[in-house]
């Protein structure tokens, strides 16, 4: 009886080790990505698109710049998305356009161009081609959207489009544009008007000749906006191995 009495009077001892261990907060990859997006103040994934196009010989820089400014404002007014940043280099009869924004905004910029191309017989922007699209870029190269006119012709010893393959031309194109973008990223301060029309003075070695821009516009290897949008909207048909039956069924 005394043994039973002692068991009732003894309190149960709880292990203290789990309580003394430090409680380390545990996260996951989703939380990491959300926090990264929050720090960068990004509501949407960013994409970068490189466009080239020809223009009428009598079109002015102001006309092209105002057209795109109106497109950007209209998109932001009616559709939620990231603001557009980038660089528009206007040559005498062509231009190179770098755009950074959300996927939906870039898509609507192409749609607006197609609307003008369809409704207007002689729209001042012609033969547009998409050179490359970089998806989910980590950061912007441009804090604003800048426009620069290249009016002074740059002299080159030879026409590289005649001596190089398309692969070599596009490699040089992307390399040169990347160097120019990094140069502007380091030199242009936030809130300033940008490089203006003096790029041929401050960075002549970084400018592409207009003959390369026209060469890419005429190349059939690159998509025009209509082809790209049709492919973007088109369904993806995937035929799995289980759907293929051999021999093929036939009716009797």
pLDDT in tens, 158-177: 566 777 889 999 999 999 99
Residues 248, 205: Cα–Cα separation, whole Å: 62
Which of 152, 55, 147 lies closest to 95 in space, CA to CA?
55
pLDDT digits (tens), the chain, 252 positions = 444 555 555 555 555 555 555 555 566 666 666 566 555 555 678 999 999 999 988 889 999 999 999 999 999 888 877 889 999 999 999 999 999 999 999 999 999 999 998 887 789 999 999 999 999 888 888 888 999 998 766 555 456 677 788 999 999 999 999 999 999 888 887 766 777 777 877 888 888 889 999 999 999 999 999 999 988 787 665 555 555 555 555 554
- Contact by Cβ (8 Å): 46, 101: yes
What pLDDT is stored for residue 101 in this prediction? 94
Q: Are 145 and 73 in contact (CB under 8 A)?
A: no
- In terms of Cα–Cα distance, which of 175, 56, 176 is closest to 125? 56
Return the number of other C-beta atoms located less than 10 Å from residue 190's C-beta: 6
Residues 6+ apart with CB under 8 A from 186: none
This model's pTM is above 0.85: no
Q: Token match 């936030």: residue? A: 190
Check residue 152 and give its pLDDT.
63
Going from the N-terminus, what domains does the chain have, and what CATH number goes with each? Answer: 43-232 (3.30.70.100)
Strands 46-55 and 94-102: antiparallel
- pLDDT on residue 20: 52
Provide the residue count of the chain: 252
């Amino acid at each position: 009886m005394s043994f039973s009495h002692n068991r009732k009077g003894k309190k149960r001892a709880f292990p203290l080790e789990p309580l003394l261990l430090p409680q380390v907060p545990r996260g996951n990859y989703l939380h990491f990505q959300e926090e990264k997006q929050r720090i960068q103040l990004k509501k949407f994934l960013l994409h970068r698109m490189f466009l080239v196009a020809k223009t009428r010989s009598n079109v002015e820089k102001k006309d092209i710049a105002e057209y795109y400014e109106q497109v950007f404002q209209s998109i932001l007014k009616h559709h939620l998305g990231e603001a557009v940043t980038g660089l528009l280099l206007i040559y005498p009869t062509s231009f190179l356009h770098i755009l950074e924004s959300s996927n939906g905004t870039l898509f609507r910029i192409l749609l607006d161009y197609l609307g003008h191309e369809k409704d207007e017989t002689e729209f001042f922007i012609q033969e547009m081609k998409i050179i490359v699209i970089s998806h989910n870029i980590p950061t912007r190269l441009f804090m604003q959207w800048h426009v620069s006119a290249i009016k002074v012709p740059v002299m080159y010893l030879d026409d590289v489009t005649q001596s190089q393959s398309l692969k070599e031309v596009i490699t040089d194109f992307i390399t040169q544009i990347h160097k120019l973008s990094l140069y502007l990223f380091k030199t242009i301060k936030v809130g300033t008007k940008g490089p203006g029309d003096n790029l041929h003075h401050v960075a002549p070695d970084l400018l592409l000749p207009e003959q390369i821009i026209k060469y890419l516009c005429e190349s059939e290897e690159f998509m025009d906006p209509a082809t790209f949008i049709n492919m973007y909207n088109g369904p993806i048909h995937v035929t799995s191995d289980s759907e293929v039956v051999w021999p093929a069924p036939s009716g009797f």
